[in-house]
Amino acid sequence: MKSFAAALLLPTLVSAHMRIGLPSTWGGNDWSLETPLNSGTSNWFCAGRGRSNAAPTELKAGGTLSVPVICGEASDQPDNGVSICSGDTAAFHKGGGCGIAISYKDPKVIGDFHLISVNHNCPDRGARVNFELPSNLPNGDAVCSWTWVPNPEGSADEMYMNCFNCKVTGGTSGTITKAATPLYWGVPGAPGGYNRPQYNKNFPNGRQHIEVSGGSAPRPTTTYKAPSTTKAPAHTTTYKAPNKTTSTVKVVTTHVGGKKIIRIIRIIRVVRIVKPKA
């Protein structure tokens, strides 16, 4: 009887995938949030779910967001993800890294999101995954997304995406003007080809670079070289005073051997004018 029960359970485990288990996740505890997204699914994007009425998850600018990345079986027990999901190694699809992105408007397309954090070791056996957040995130209510493009060695052409309500505190009052777009693959509109993007290969681990302008946003960091405070040596100028020149012509007549010799002698006098010291 026990073997029969185990046989019934086996197909469920084999078909398991991954989702996030935050209380503000769009779709709540529905197991189907783990369903992969691909070109033939109708749940692109945000797993096909609309905005949740749940209270937003707080994102402290410059802090860390802890996200349960769990299998569907742990939907009702997200804090027990490791004990429930760790035996189903196929669900992890050999990793690939995950990303957290944010949108301050009602997102309609993947381009409405700004990538703010990446963790290369994600999923992690059903455990919570920590995402470091930029310190200059603008404050306010927003929509956040979790995306995962699995390792191609462990999955088909597919990806995973869950959205959740979020709210940034302790940040700036500016607006994001530049940030990367989350990765997406195998879904309508996604880039094709053989080079599948992955967070652990395409982005650095940790908080991502974003540029924010307006409000209380800090100015972009620039490399400023302060002028030297060393006093320059005094510049020595040699003053050459003009010279006053006079000339005198003198005619000298002599007789040598019965011959008259006339010599014209020009006498030049140079008088140097010295400028007095100040």
Residues 69, 123 within the same domain: yes
Highest mean pLDDT, choosing among 66-70, 193-197, 214-218, 251-255 = 66-70
Residue 217 DSSP class: P
In a domain, 5, yes or no: no
Judge if pTM exceeds 0.75.
Answer: no
Phi and psi, residue 176, nearest 5°: -70, 120
Residues 82, 157 within the same domain: yes
Taking the C-alpha atoms of residue 104 and residue 57, their distance in angstroms, rounded to an integer, is 14
Q: Is 72 helix (H, G, I), strand (E, B) or coil?
A: helix
Query: 148: which residues sit within 8 A by CB, 6+ positions away?
Result: 18, 69, 96, 97, 98, 99, 122, 123, 159, 160, 161, 199
| H or E element, residue 13 | helix 2-14
Residues 177, 78 within the same domain: yes
Domain tally, the chain = 2
Radius of gyration in angstroms for the set of CA atoms belonging to the chain, rounded to a whole number: 40
* Model pLDDT for residues 40-49, shown as the tens digit of each residue: 877 888 999 9
In a domain, 233, yes or no: no
Residues 155, 257 within the same domain: no
Higher pLDDT, 166 or 232: 166
Query: 250: which residues sit within 8 A by CB, 6+ positions away?
Result: 264, 265, 266, 267
Which residue from 205, 158, 120, 187 is spatially nearest to 17, judged by alpha carbons? 158
Q: 132 - beta bridge partners? A: 64
Q: Which amino acid is at 149?
A: V
* Model pLDDT for residues 74-91, shown as the tens digit of each residue: 999 999 999 999 887 776
Higher pLDDT, 111 or 259: 111
Residues 250, 134 within the same domain: no
- The parent domain of residue 99 ranges over 10-213
| Confidence band, pLDDT 50/70/90 cuts, at residue 68 | very high
| H or E element, residue 119 | strand 114-119
82 contacts 68 by C-beta, under 8 angstroms = no
- Cβ atoms < 10 Å from Cβ of 264: 8
* Model pLDDT for residues 241-269, shown as the tens digit of each residue: 455 556 665 666 666 666 666 666 666 66
Quote the pLDDT of residue 120.
98
Q: Which amino acid is at 271?
A: V
- Cα 32 to chain centroid distance, Å, stands at 32
Taking the C-alpha atoms of residue 95 and residue 122, their distance in angstroms, rounded to an integer, is 6
Residues 61, 124 within the same domain: yes
Q: Which amino acid is at 165?
A: N
